[in-house]
Amino acid sequence: MDSMYLIVIIVALALVFDYINGFHDTANAIATSISTKALSPRNAILIAASLNFVGALSGTAVAATIGKGIVAPEVVTPDVLISALIGAIFWNLFTWLYGIPSSSSHALIGGLTGAVIGSFGFQQVKWYGFGKILAGLILSPILGLILGSLIMILLFWIFSGSAPARVNNNFRKIQILSACMASFAHGSNDAQKSMGIITLTLFSAGLLTTFTVPFWVKASCAIAMASGTAFGGWKIIRTMGGKIFRIEPINGFAADFSASAIIWGASLLGAPVSTTHVVSSSIMGVGAAKRLKGVRWNIARQILIAWVVTIPSSALVAIGVNYLIKFLI
């Protein structure tokens, strides 16, 4: 990787992915608070953008997993990273266009895996590392479903003798805190994925002697994600905020608290998780605890389908882009 302009292209694509991730996944942190009118859309987006930025600066463990967990840095070439990012960006835009809450994490991991396969074949993918990442992606929404349900049951038990209107009025205020927690957690996990790609680029080019995320990379990714968040993602907000089930403030708090705890824990462990699917599964768990039949399981099925097809779809796009680059060069 000896051409500086290729490095610039890869860094720019990574920041574009981060920006799209911001508006694609804005719904993760603020959909429930907007739906319950705990926050106005404007204030919700300001909070989400600000806390996404702070969360993005909070660590680099996830960046190291993305940068070194799927492919060895020494075999990375510009066409691999360009193909991976285009595959991920394409899938994010496609699902955003149709308001499908798919996973930016899945898209990036699928894109990177497909690009490596397209360039070097299956043997250069670190399948053990890929399996560990995939296990985290599978486990985290299951935990979201369980924890969301348990917290909602606990809250029902605690406030069983209280007037529902009064409880919801109080939780409408508390929900501002849970939205802040979810926004911070989202930034702590999702922004680091682009950090990992950029650091992988710099390390492979010999511009870094160790796989350490420079501060300017952290700041750039944080700014890109916060800017994308400020743009908003209203199609997905509508799906997350009301189409799964009718959310009340106490439900919104339970879902946000559950999701933020799981996402932040994953960030500390260096595990890239799908913030979209953790939040959506937490909402489903809360809804199931409230009333099983009240959950619109057809929407849940659409989210599950998107979960399953994202990695192979973005991988196939990345393979196609990789072949096109080779043909043109």
What does the pLDDT read at residue 27?
A: 63
What does the pLDDT read at residue 204?
A: 84
Give the pTM.
Answer: 0.85
Residue numbers of the domain that contains 68: 4-328
Tell me if 263 sits within 8 A of 188, measured CB to CB. Answer: yes
Number of domains in the chain: 1
What does the pLDDT read at residue 180?
A: 92
What does the pLDDT read at residue 296?
A: 66
Q: What is the pLDDT along the chain (329 residues), one digit of tens a residue?
A: 457 888 999 999 999 999 988 877 766 677 778 778 888 877 888 888 888 889 888 888 898 888 888 887 777 888 899 999 999 999 988 887 776 667 788 899 999 999 999 988 888 889 888 888 888 888 998 999 999 999 999 999 999 888 988 998 999 999 999 989 988 998 898 888 889 899 989 988 888 888 889 999 999 998 998 888 777 655 555 555 455 557 789 998 999 999 999 999 999 998 888 887 888 889 888 888 877 666 666 666 776 777 788 899 999 999 999 999 888 76
What does the pLDDT read at residue 235?
A: 55
What does the pLDDT read at residue 226?
A: 83
